[in-house]
Structure 1
Amino acid sequence: MSFTLAIVGRPNVGKSTLFNRLVGRRLALVDDQPGVTRDLREGEGKLGDIRFTVVDTAGLEDANDDSLQGRMRRLTERAVDMADICLFMIDARAGVTPTDEMFAEILRKRSDHVILAANKSEGSAADAGVIEAYSLGLGEPVRLSAEHGEGMNDLYSQLMPIADEYAKRAEANAPETDVTIDEDDDDAPRVPTAEKPLQIAVVGRPNAGKSTLINKILGEDRLLTGPEAGITRDAISLRINWNDTPTRIFDTAGMRKKAKVQEKLEKLSVSDGLRAVKFAEVVVVLLDAAIPFEQQDLRIADLAEREGRAVVVAVNKWDIEDDKQEKLKELKEEFARLLPQLRGAPLITVSAKTGRGLERLYAAIMKAHEVWNRRVPTAALNRWLTGMLEQHPPPAPQGKRIKLRYMTQAKTRPPGFVVMCSHPDKMPASYSRYLVNGLREDFDMPGTPIRLMLRGQSDKNPYKGKKKSGPSKLRKHLKPRAES
């Protein structure tokens, strides 16, 4: 049984920097301006031989209303209640502020284990702030520099007794289980497991309702939401069991047009979301029913297709739509016209506010994942290829006939096929599309990206250009001599 460590403190004291150091990767966005982190981000922390769950929180603000700062504070207080240990960080260079004193009082009441850390304490300029930290009444402060990695040994010494305590509890409560390891081929259809859950990324424009949708799937207000656009900044990953399917779902920052993204922080947020798309298996492109299929929505869907991910298009805020049948008909027509590369992909209407349509969304995601992992036998592919060639033979550019001889599936996730043919460089794109669309229809692979690769196979006669040797030469040597 591992323990949970929540890093709390005022904005801009270095919580996300320490989080990144403990997890060993740059997962949390870091910037000089205060208030970058808004949601709770979890990661697998490591310090020496201690393993634990570390939670990065939003900066504690003196706000209790329904403003953005107030909602952020309530989320952080929830993390404090859930965590086994709270690491309370102050800025040693700024010293102890009245806000620090107020939150130290709150932590004393709400948390059983509180470790005080004075960050940014490299150099003599921080000495006064470290001494002042004793006045908070939380014991001896750990002198840290999260940016430079100083003071990690002191933090380890503070965590070690608590880690030993939780390790003893884990040994006493550990049930006997038989663990089986799946050693199947990496290219085989994969069933999501607790070790390798189904990876889903929810992407879309700002204020489309991504965080609200994920909260409804989770059944709790785990992510920060509100009427303001652009609340989410980090790509937050959450592990859940969705209808008994182990799942890791990524909430991403809203993606605006590239020309409108000017601030460095928003650029970092968008790049974090793009990274989540690359790690995902299924990408849910969330649209706003009031303004669906805007140019940016099309770019986002096209990006997911180019990355080779299974795509599900979900239209949110369906509960406020009046003429649902007519609107759905328009949406399907626009989808087929504007996104031909995702032909057959599921289009699901949902309401993140009420939860309607979530079962249909789950079914569409599982179907898209199954198609994304599909493998077609080589014999069936070549029988299909023969029929396609008879129905519509390939063209003969410049009088050179293109012969398609053999076809096989090279990979899955997404399905990739190789066709051995003559003159692959002369194959028109229209004929490749004809084959891809045929694969979609005949092997039931709607919506998923399909990769078709053409490889050359020589048409040359292996004996062409070689000198003849045989009866003609023998005859020459066997000519009868002239009589003398």
Structure 2
Amino acid sequence: MSKPVVAIVGRPNVGKSTLFNALAGEKISIVKDTPGVTRDRIYADVSWLDKDFTLIDTGGIEPESKDIILSQMREQAQIAIDTSDVIIFITDVKQGLVDSDSKVADMLRRSGKPVILVVNKVDNFDKYMADTYEFYNLGIGDPVPISASSRLGLGDMLDKVIEHFPEHAGEEEEDSRPRVAIVGKPNVGKSSIINKLLGEQRVIVSDIAGTTRDAIDTEIVHNGKEYVFIDTAGLRRKNKIKEELERYSIIRTVTAVERADVVLVVIDATQGVTEQDAKVAGIAHERGKGVIIVVNKWDAIEKNDKTMREYENEVRRVLSFMPYAEIMYVSAVTGQRLPKMFDMIDMVIENQTLRVATGVLNEILMEATAMQQPPSDKGKRLKIYYMTQVAVKPPSFVIFVNDKELMHFSYQRYLENKIRESFGFKGTSLKFFVRERKERDN
């Protein structure tokens, strides 16, 4: 089940990014070799008490004029309304209540989504308490005073945020149908693939002028089995600033990936694999989802006997951080190989949920350490006591060792390769946690 999504909305300079960074903290494990971990981070994983959620900063460009500020804020509020479960609406006690705050508050109120009204920069509760009451006028509930920079009041705010999470967020839901997100940069043929699988043209663009609603879920039945496809297509906004469009599509990709079991990263064969494809794929990789790289428009490529191998080498090179991802070559126009996609999805889900018995894991571990000795440093050698699987989706393992510092990345990768040799785990990343145990615990 996917984690709840919480979005931060507010005017420029009220402290959106400060709050985002305070909540995201240093906990963000940015995988070094994952591209697309953007300079301005847009999303982060946050835990409060026993709840995990994805935090999104809808921020972005800081415009000059008042009119533009309002239209930008409406845009950001719309993103938050479309993609999140709870919205944090942040205002500034020092600037007081501003006209654009009221207009955005109206939009948020009409959306029916839970909104937590936060008044920032209250670095002295006694001094500013009276000023926070003014924000009751927005009519969206009790203002929560905080100071993002001094980290005051954040606990109270988070308590309110998690009250609104769906009861069973994070627990398995009844719906056991495989959920498949189709992601990729614009015009790679995401919708065409879904239309071809459905066997009909559905219209994606909604009636609301200038907007297209968020990810559309489509049920597709194949051989009597139901699949839910989550499509992020339909972003066709004219004259939007490129950076902003990119930010918007990243937010949508994150929320679609979050809800999926398997992610199809669609690449346009005629354009080759690009940095932007790597960004999109990086999101699925960071989130530990099953991944299939779907090279579309394969019918449009001039081929000889080496074409596929050369293409695959190039895809593997650009997406080198996910060597486990499966690759398939399809054409949404001719329907070539599309039916095979379902077998591939089933296989990847099976691998995402595969559990390996501890005894078997430790046999592999013993064999692996016998074949290649664990590294040592200044005369101290890494000892690996045992290993056990602690989770699925993605399969996650804990390795107990005598000294975590001695566990080199390369040796961990070696162990991962040994596990993959034995069990395949095609199409899914594996997560490893290294824990120390003192000698005497043995």
* Bin for the TM-score computed over the shorter chain: 0.5 to 0.7
Q: Which of 237, 248, 261 is the matching residue for 1:268?
A: 248
**How big is each residue's C-alpha offset from its partner over 1:46-98, in whole Å with a ceiling of 9 and x where there is no partner?**
xxxxxxxxxxxxxxxxxxxxxxxxxxxxxxxxxxxxxxxxxxxxxxxxxxxxx
- Whether the aligned pair in 1 keeps the contact of 2:401 and 2:434 (CA below 8 Å) is yes
Match of 1:305 among 285, 293, 299: 285
Cα distance in 2 between the residues matched to 1:383 and 1:236: 46
Q: CA deviation at 1:430?
A: 0.6
Name which of 407, 411, 415 aligns with 1:427.
Answer: 407
SS at match of 2:321: helix
> CA 1:294/1:147 → structure 2, altered by over 3 Å: closer, same or farther?
closer
User: SS in structure 1 opposite 2:252?
Assistant: helix
Is the contact made by 1:212 and 1:223 (CA closer than 8 Å) also made in structure 2? no
Structure 1 spans left out of the alignment, 5+ residues: 1-28, 37-41, 43-144, 151-185, 463-484
**2:349 aligned with 1:349, yes or no?**
no
Partner of 1:170: none
Deviations 1:129-173 (A, max 9, x none): xxxxxxxxxxxxxxxx986559xxxxxxxxxxxxxxxxxxxxxxx
Matched, 1:418 2:394: no
Q: Say if 2:375 and 2:406, in contact at 8 Å, map to a contact too.
A: no
Work out whether 1:440 is the aligned partner of 2:417.
Answer: no
User: What TM-score comes out, normalization by structure 1 length?
Assistant: 0.52
Please state if 1:338 is matched with 2:318.
yes
Matched-pair contact (CA < 8 Å) for 1:284–1:311: yes
Hey, what's the Cα distance between the residues in 2 that align with 1:421 and 1:255?
Answer: 48
Distance 1:324 1:251, change over 3 A: farther
Q: Conserved in 1, the CA contact under 8 Å of 2:362 and 2:386?
A: yes
Give yes or no for the alignment of 1:328 onto 2:308. yes
Question: In the aligned structure 2, how far is the partner of 1:461 from the partner of 1:234?
Answer: 52
Q: Which amino acid aligns with 1:394?
A: P
Task: Using the TM superposition, give the Cα deviation of residue 302 of structure 1 relative to its aligned residue in structure 2, in angstroms.
Answer: 2.0
Q: Deviations over 1:324-367 (max 9, x none)?
A: 54321112212333333322422111111121111222211111
Query: Could you say which residue in structure 2 is the equivalent of 1:454?
Result: 434
Tell me: CA distance 1:427–1:149, structure 2 relative to 1, closer, same or farther (3 Å): closer
Evaluate the alpha carbon distance shift between residue 205 and residue 232 of structure 1 in structure 2; reply closer, same or farther with a 3 A threshold.
Answer: farther
User: What corresponds to 2:385 in structure 1?
Assistant: 405
Q: What CA distance in whole angstroms lies between the structure 1 residues aligned with 2:368 and 2:331? A: 42
Decide whether aligned partners of structure 1 residues 391 and 207 sit closer, same or farther in structure 2, where only a CA change above 3 A counts.
same
Q: Which of residues 290, 293, 296 in structure 1 aligns to 2:273? A: 293
- Judge conservation of contact 1:288–1:315 (CA < 8 Å) in 2: yes
Q: Which runs of 4+ in 1 moved over 6 A?
A: 33-36, 230-233
Distance in 2 between residues matched to 1:253 and 1:208, nearest whole Å: 10
* Paired letter, 1:384: I
1:258-297 deviations in whole A, cap 9, x for unaligned? xx96465663343122211111110000011111211111
1:331 counterpart letter in structure 2: Y
Alignment CA distance shift 1:147-1:435 (3 Å) = closer
- Relative to the length of structure 2, the TM-score reads 0.57
Aligned to 1:386: 366
Please give the residue correspondences for 1:148-227 in structure 2 after superposition, counting only pairs within 5 Å: 148=109, 195-224=175-204
The change in CA–CA distance for 1:261 and 1:459 in structure 2 (over 3 A counts) is farther
Among candidates 342, 349, 357, match of residue 369 of structure 1: 349
Aligned to 1:340, the other structure's residue is in SS state: coil
In structure 2, how many angstroms separate the alpha carbons of the residues matched to 1:461 and 1:361?
A: 48
Max Rg structure: 1
Aligned equivalents of 1:218, 1:461: Cα separation in 2: 58
1:397 and 1:426 in contact (8 A); partners too: yes
Shift in CA distance, 408/368, structure 1 to aligned 2, threshold 3 Å: same
Say if 1:325 and 1:201 are closer, same or farther in 2 by CA, change over 3 A. Answer: farther
Q: What is the Cα-based RMSD across aligned positions, in Å?
A: 3.7
Secondary structure of the 2:428 match is coil
- The residue type equivalent to 1:350 in the other structure is V
The aligned residue for residue 64 of structure 1 is none
Amino acid aligned to 2:308:
L
Using the alignment, how far apart are the partners of 2:241 and 2:382 within structure 1? 47
Give distance in 2, aligned partners of 1:296 and 1:343: 18
Counting aligned pairs with the same residue, the percent is 35
Tell me: CA distance 1:302–1:265, structure 2 relative to 1, closer, same or farther (3 Å). Answer: closer
User: In structure 2, how many angstroms separate the alpha carbons of the residues matched to 1:148 and 1:301?
Assistant: 35
Q: Which residue of 1 aligns with 2:294?
A: 314
Which is bigger in relative contact order (C-alpha 8 A, separation at least 6)?
Answer: 2
Q: CA deviation at 1:397?
A: 1.0
What amino acid sits opposite 1:382 in the alignment?
A: N
CA distance in 2, matches of 1:236, 1:299: 22
Q: Secondary structure at the match of 1:308?
A: coil
Deviation at 1:403, TM superposition (A): 0.8
